[in-house]
Amino acid sequence: MKKITAFGSFLGLAVVLLWYANRDGESARVKRVVEEARSAVSWDGSETALQQIAAAGRLAGADEVKGAVLAARQHIPRLEVQFLDLTVSFTDPTHAKVELTANATTDKPKEINPQEFVLLLHKNEGHWYIDRVETIRTLQSQ
């Protein structure tokens, strides 16, 4: 009886650990996609037009986001984006929600515009893609 209890406990612990490790792995994968997005929306102005298109193409997800990034690249000579306080939550195994604060610095040294965002991602054939990017207003003016 003791052996069965010990085996059961061991099995339960192993299942919990596996579930946790897998969940943590998914979270890391989502964070990697977000980090790729961050690097695609940061540039230093020394890239050629082809490099700009390739960088925007690294964004895994919505075409309108890629388009907006590409357009912004042509107008702003340098943009460095930092993602702060990034938290990942899963609504189900194939859908994730990422909350973060984006902090952008441009050529003007004092211009820092933090903005809250929510990124909605979905998983397709083992890969995570950004479905939608929503801006969150920290303060409601009306």
Stretch that binds another protein, among 9-17, 27-35, 94-102, 123-131 (CB under 8 A): 94-102
Q: Could you tell me if 84 and 101 are in contact, meaning their C-beta atoms sit under 8 angstroms apart?
A: yes
Residues numbered 122 to 141 that lie near another protein (CB under 8 A) are: 136-141
**Using the rule CB under 8 A, which residue among 103, 120, 129, 131 binds another protein?**
103
The nearer residue to another protein, 11 or 76, going by C-beta atoms, is 76
**Using the rule CB under 8 A, which residue among 18, 21, 28, 84 binds another protein?**
84
Q: For the chain, how long is the longest CA-to-CA vector?
A: 73
The upper half-sphere exposure of residue 103, i.e. CA atoms within 13 Å in the direction of its Cβ, equals 7
